[in-house]
Amino acid sequence: METRQYRVREGVTMVNGAKVPANRIVTLTPTQARYDLDHGRIAPARKARRRRPAKDDHGGR
């Protein structure tokens, strides 16, 4: 079954019947997440973006 990571909002101590971990990230199925998402207790965790190296801005010289 598909799972996704969610960031738990400040002040929330339990999600899906389990204690919130110190990093405030939980992994849930869409069905498990539905209640807490609908009540604004969790939000999809953002994936870390890879930074692209800056392009040489010297006009190609």
14 within some domain? yes
> How far apart are alpha carbons 26 and 44 in whole angstroms?
10
Name the nearest CA neighbour of 28 among 16, 13, 12, 11.
Answer: 16
pLDDT at 22: 97
Block residue for tokens 């973006």: 49
Domain count within the chain: 1
Q: pLDDT tens digits for 10-54?
A: 999 999 999 999 999 999 999 999 999 999 999 999 876 666 666
Q: Is residue 39 part of a domain?
A: yes
What's the pLDDT at 10?
A: 97
The pLDDT value given to residue 53: 67
pLDDT recorded at residue 47: 74
Task: Examine residue 53 and state whether it is found in any structural domain, yes or no.
Answer: no
- Cα distance between residue 16 and residue 36, in whole Å: 8
Q: Which domain holds residue 15?
A: 4-44
Question: Is there a domain that residue 28 lies in?
Answer: yes
pLDDT at 51 (0 to 100): 65
> Does any domain span residue 38?
yes
Whether residue 16 lies inside any domain: the answer is yes
Residue 51 lies in a domain: no
